[in-house]
Amino acid sequence: MDISNLFSLKGKVALVTGATHGIGFFIASSYANAGATIVFNDLNKESVDKGLAAYKEIGITAKGYVFDVTDEEQVNKAIEQINQEVGVIDILVNNAGIIKRIPMCEMSASDFRQVIDVDLNGPFIVSKAVLPEMIKKRSGKIINLCSMMSELGRETVSAYAAAKGGLKMLTKNIASEYGEYNIQCNGIGPGYIATSQTAPLRERQADGSRHPFDSFIISKTPTARWGEADDLTGPAIFLASEASNFVNGHILYVDGGLLAYIGRQP
Ligand code: NAP
Ligand code: GCO
């Protein structure tokens, strides 16, 4: 076995959804640095252009497309276009996601549906669009961005937890259904990562002190800090590369130990 190429993504085409900033941006950049051609999407041209400029700034030539992961027609059209213009997708990272923090009894059914639509239906729709070519090629990697909320609940995130719990099971099901075609579908379950999604949980208080949730997460995480998006790039490269060819239906939690820890005694 040639160990030096085990983690190489040379010659691969990787689509990372919602990767103009945040976790997706770091994962896509690491794939480019490992040799892949990277493709991303966002909801409008302005955001895609911003993403293209951000990649250019760090010396990466990315391809950007406008589509909404919840719109099956747009997704199918875009995947067809990517297949023609860039190449057949070898690696799909279902990263696009949203959260709405609203107590369940105050949440409208339409807000609940929107979260499920982006965080669960989206990965279903995009995976379904790339799977036929992966099956033909007898090769493919699908990586779903799961969450601590794939395992745990907490106040205000019922829709997000339902979606990310569902995404964990969609991951296992894709692995079960298409594993025989040499397709590996795994999840990454990040702990609390400092991005725009979690910015409201880290806002400084009027007196300059830490947000109580910020202090709570630091005390609940054995590594005693928030994660950075870059903490996810090693695991993301592992799951996209040949190094993980017999890893299937697994959720790799990258959480500084949060799920292992009962929490600091009072
Ligand atoms: P983020 O900074 O909010 O980025 C999410 C991205 O998804 C944005 O680029 C957003 O586009 C895009 N997006 C949203 N809805 C979309 C749609 N319908 N179609 C296409 N793109 C869409 O979030 P992040 O923290 O990097 O999180 C990335 C993923 O990791 C999410 O699935 C999130 O749930 C998951 N995650 C995050 C954490 C964390 O602590 N941050 C922990 C566990 C899991 P716009 O820029 O246009 O809004
Ligand atoms: C929240 C957070 C989380 C994280 C992440 C944890 O409000 O609890 O936003 O759900 O973003 O998904 O893994």
Q: Are strands 91-94 and 63-66 parallel, antiparallel or unpaired?
A: unpaired
CA of 147 to the centre of ligand 2 (A): 7
Closest ligand (CA of 259): 2
pTM above threshold 0.95:
yes
Q: Are residues 142 and 16 in the same domain?
A: yes
Cα–Cα distance measured from residue 98 to residue 45, given in angstroms and rounded to the nearest whole number = 19
Kindly state if the Cβ of 191 falls inside 6 Å of ligand 2: yes
Catalytic residue list contains 160: yes
Per-residue confidence (pLDDT) for residue 3, from 0 to 100: 87
Q: Are residues 178 and 200 in the same domain?
A: no
Q: Are residues 126 and 215 in the same domain?
A: no
Q: Residue 266 domain-assigned? A: no
Cα–Cα distance measured from residue 142 to residue 183, given in angstroms and rounded to the nearest whole number = 8
* Residue 183 contacts residue 249 (beta carbons within 8 Å): no
Q: Are residues 100 and 217 in the same domain?
A: no
Q: The domain that contains 28 carries what CATH number?
A: 3.40.50.720
CA of 148 to the centre of ligand 2 (A): 7
Ligand 2 atom 4: residue of nearest CA: 192
- 104-121: per-residue pLDDT in tens? 999 999 999 999 999 999
- 136-146: per-residue pLDDT in tens? 999 999 999 99
* Residue 244 contacts residue 8 (beta carbons within 8 Å): no
What is the crossing angle of helices 233-240 and 22-33, to 10°?
60
The number of distinct structural domains making up the chain is 2
4-9: long-range contacts at Cβ-Cβ below 8 A with a sequence spacing of 24 or more?
Answer: 5/242, 6/241, 6/242, 6/243, 7/34, 7/237, 7/238, 7/241, 7/242, 7/243, 8/34, 8/35, 8/241, 8/242, 9/34, 9/35, 9/36, 9/91, 9/237, 9/240, 9/241
Ligand 1 atom 31: residue of nearest CA: 97
* Residue 64 contacts residue 49 (beta carbons within 8 Å): yes
* Residue 94 contacts residue 125 (beta carbons within 8 Å): no
Q: Residue 144 domain-assigned? A: yes
Cα–Cα distance measured from residue 104 to residue 162, given in angstroms and rounded to the nearest whole number = 12
Catalytic entry in 31, 55, 160, 253: 160
Kindly state if the Cβ of 195 falls inside 6 Å of ligand 1: yes
Q: Residue 61 domain-assigned? A: yes
Q: Are residues 121 and 235 in the same domain?
A: yes
Q: Which stretches in the chain have pLDDT values below 70?
A: 1
Q: Residue 134 domain-assigned? A: yes
Per-residue confidence (pLDDT) for residue 2, from 0 to 100: 78
Q: Residue 88 domain-assigned? A: yes
Q: Residue 261 domain-assigned? A: no
